[in-house]
Amino acid sequence: MSNPTPVDPAKSAAVEADAVESIVPLMPLVLPIAGGVLMLLLASIAVYMA
């Protein structure tokens, strides 16, 4: 039985930081779209409840 090779925490942290940094440039597009969808959803719920 061979032990699996241990994962270097610094290497996995660098991979996670790269994933986050790849998403950051999209925030100016994603946040307004998500806000618009959320407002539309909340407005439709308010109209339905009224």
Q: Read off the pLDDT of residues 3-47 as tens digits, 9 standing for 90 and up.
A: 666 666 666 656 667 778 888 899 999 999 999 999 999 999 999
**pLDDT on residue 38:** 98
CB-based burial label for 49 (10 Å; 0-12, 13-18, 19+): exposed
Q: Which residue has the tokens 């994603």?
A: 30
Tokens of 28: 């100016």
**Three-state SS string across the chain, please?**
CCCCCCCCHHHHHHHHHHHHHHHHHHHHHHHHHHHHHHHHHHHHHHHHHC
Higher pLDDT, 36 or 50: 36
| Of residues 26, 45, 49, the one with CA closest to residue 37 | 45
**pLDDT on residue 34:** 95
Please state the pTM of the whole predicted model: 0.55
